[in-house]
Amino acid sequence: MHRTSSLVSILLSASIIFSTQSFAAPSPTPTPTPTPTLSVIDEYLNALDKFEMEIEVYFDAMKLREEMRDMMNETFASAVLKSTRDAKIATRRATSAANKSAIIEQRKLAIQNAVLQRSAAIAALGPMPVKPIEPIRPKGVMELAPLSKKEKKEKKENRKSTTSPLDYDE
């Protein structure tokens, strides 16, 4: 009996010693902080504001691209005009048919060179800007009243004062 009581006491003390962790206070589990959720209309309005900024950037990029293409086309047209004018002047002075043929070939080469330069310059512009997609209005949302000209102007001025050109990279 003495053996049994000592065995029971050893087992009890061992279980108490090795189970000290079970008596420790449980570590608090981190509770996730609730993320503020926007209403459907607020999400749509935010997406619409972002779209308006992106469409403005898109139109600016298209305008710049068109201006650069116009300059390239002017350069091309002046190169073709110059080669044609030079060829006419040289043809008047030429005395043999061989000289005239050489002048015509020179003009063709000058035009081909101008075409290649214009093509390389257009390729250097890169791909066309991608037009942003307008957000889809959620079902059940009423039609929004359009902003007045004054409100649009104020909104545009506020956007320009709070954003930099680097903010458009989103």
**What tens digit of pLDDT does each residue of 54-95 get?**
999 999 999 999 999 999 999 999 999 999 999 999 999 988
Domain of 76 in residue numbering reads as: 39-134
Q: Do the domain assignments include residue 157?
A: no
Q: Do the domain assignments include residue 28?
A: no
Among 113, 116, 124, 119, residue whose Cα is nearest residue 82 = 113
- Which pLDDT score, from 0 to 100, does residue 48 have? 92
Q: Do the domain assignments include residue 151?
A: no
At residue 169 the predicted structure's pLDDT band, cuts being 50, 70 and 90, is very low
Taking a C-beta distance cutoff of 8 angstroms, is the pair 72, 116 a contact? no
- Which pLDDT score, from 0 to 100, does residue 4 have? 52
Tokens of 39: 């209403």
Taking a C-beta distance cutoff of 8 angstroms, is the pair 122, 69 a contact? yes
- Structure-token match 């002047």, residue found: 89
Give the chain's domain count.
1
Q: Do the domain assignments include residue 63?
A: yes
SS3 104: helix
Stronger pLDDT, 41 or 132, i.e. the higher one: 132
Q: Do the domain assignments include residue 169?
A: no
- Which pLDDT score, from 0 to 100, does residue 67 have? 96
Q: Within 10 A of 54 (CB to CB), how many other CB atoms are there?
A: 17
- Which pLDDT score, from 0 to 100, does residue 14 have? 52
- Which pLDDT score, from 0 to 100, does residue 5 have? 53
- Which pLDDT score, from 0 to 100, does residue 32 have? 63
Taking a C-beta distance cutoff of 8 angstroms, is the pair 168, 53 a contact? yes
Share above pLDDT 90 across residues of the chain, in percent, rounded to a whole number = 52
Q: Do the domain assignments include residue 100?
A: yes
**What tens digit of pLDDT does each residue of 20-64 get?**
555 555 566 666 665 667 778 888 889 999 999 999 999 999 999
Q: Do the domain assignments include residue 147?
A: no
Q: Do the domain assignments include residue 95?
A: yes
